[in-house]
Amino acid sequence: MASTSSNETVTQREQSIVLEDVKLMYTIFADVPPKTKLLMLELHRDNHMEYLLRGLQQLGPSFCALDANRPWICYWILHSIALLGESIDARLEDRTIDFLSRCQDPDGGYGGGPGQMPHLATTYAAVNSLITLGDEKSLSSIDRDKIYRFLLSMKDPNGAFRMHDAGEMDVRACYTAISVASVLNILDDELVRDVGNYILSCQTYEGGISGEPGSEAHGGYTFCGLATMILINEVDRLDLATLLDWVVFRQGVEGGFQGRTNKLVDGCYSFWQGGIFALLQRFHTIIGESMTLLDAGQANCADSPQTTVESDISDGEESLHGTSSSGDEACAIQQGVNFGNVDRKSIEGRAEREPLFNSIALQRYLLLCSQDPGGGLKDKPRKGRDHYHTCYCLSGLSVSQHCWSKDEDSSPLPRVVLGPYFNLLEPINPIHNVVLERYREAQEFFARS
């Protein structure tokens, strides 16, 4: 148990406990033979599938509190299964489509359950679930005309969106609305109008993006804000240099990400923060035009800590000291790299640089500290597994495995996948967080329908 001081805050005490738990796990890992290391790093696919399928078919009484989140539970489970390269049987698929259809409001949008008020968050979850199922029956069950009218009715005169009728207005609402409109091919100028102004007003002095103007920068909202600005072709309006500055220092000494400054590591931010890097890295203009500045500044940053993939894997352990960003990226931040205009079409492009975060350290945290041997993934040691963290931990694991690939259709080299190559997950479209193949199938379907 970590030592405590009477002058420590609650967060400091909790951080000490987390560090001790992670250090113990990494120490054990460092001291075992190589074959045991490989076993410890194995993704327990069969156990995860058993846990996910059981949850999709029936949940216990304790889940009553999530009655208004049932499309989310469908998405968390279905997306996790798709990331594992698996699918559900036809009978269960039909039941899922039928349930989500009953969540679809007669006036458009999806509620948290049959007969519940339509809500942007559950609309996003339902649409992503149906795209993940992927066949014509699933995709054709979405009433795009009514969803468009629902999205338009949620738009506020200031350009932002409300989550539901008379509901809260925040960056999450903007993202879910724009993401749904984009993936369904119904995004137009009316929906886009002034959204960028609202997102811009939420970027804080730290560089991250808050949920609403005047609040604290947050990983989930930063992802949502950045993804929204990409989808509406206004990402160049953000201060991307300070945004990158903020997010690189959210990777903690444990290897995972924290959601806010001075907060604890949490497995779900493997995607919410890791996904930000995936978005930035796919842009030719960001990666290409800034390279000269990055390389020119590297000579002035000789003292910046750097870690290579090869040394990470061969050492078999991750230091619990120092910064997580590699030297040239951190140096680019110090020198204020000027990011040029980018657009959402570039998301299908090539990554031409090493990842802007320590991908091996993130994989190690997820496999050793977030994975429940009995199936499912969790926030951190001492926490319980749940479907939410299973979804976003696996999404983050996929991002960290595929972030080295120069082409999103190429498989990563074995050296960048921690543990056995069997651990490799399906690649995702990081803007919408759906498996890439399913996203492409949906784009083709909605382009012709």
Per-residue pLDDT reduced to its tens digit, 5-21: 568 899 999 999 999 99
pLDDT of residue 4: 53
Which one of the listed residues 266, 312, 328, 372 is annotated catalytic? 266
Dihedral through CA 210, CA 216, CA 220, CA 225, nearest 10? 20
Nearest alpha carbon to residue 425 among 131, 85, 134 = 85
Residue 40, CB-side half-sphere exposure with 13 Å CA sphere: 19
User: 389 catalytic, yes or no?
Assistant: yes
Whether the predicted pLDDT of 1 surpasses 70? no
Residue-averaged pLDDT of the chain: 87
pLDDT confidence tier of residue 31, bands split at 50, 70 and 90? very high
Which one of the listed residues 79, 144, 172, 263 is annotated catalytic? 263
Per-residue pLDDT reduced to its tens digit, 179-210: 999 999 999 999 999 999 999 999 999 999 99
Q: Count CB atoms within 10 A of the CB of residue 435.
A: 26
8 A C-beta contact, residue 272 and residue 379: no
Higher pLDDT, 232 or 356: 232
User: 188 catalytic, yes or no?
Assistant: no
Strand partners, 209: 203
User: 365 catalytic, yes or no?
Assistant: no
Which distant-in-sequence residues (6+ apart) come within 8 Å of 26 by Cβ?
A: 317, 318, 320, 364, 368
Which one of the listed residues 164, 282, 385, 389 is annotated catalytic? 389
- In degrees rounded to 5, what are phi and psi of residue 256? -90, -175
Which one of the listed residues 70, 172, 260, 387 is annotated catalytic? 260
Higher pLDDT, 317 or 416: 416
The proportion of the chain whose per-residue pLDDT surpasses 90, expressed as a percent, equals 79
Which one of the listed residues 245, 386, 387, 432 is annotated catalytic? 386
User: 386 catalytic, yes or no?
Assistant: yes
User: 402 catalytic, yes or no?
Assistant: no
8 A C-beta contact, residue 276 and residue 401: no
Per-residue pLDDT reduced to its tens digit, 402-415: 998 877 788 999 99
Whether the predicted pLDDT of 157 surpasses 80? yes
User: 344 catalytic, yes or no?
Assistant: no
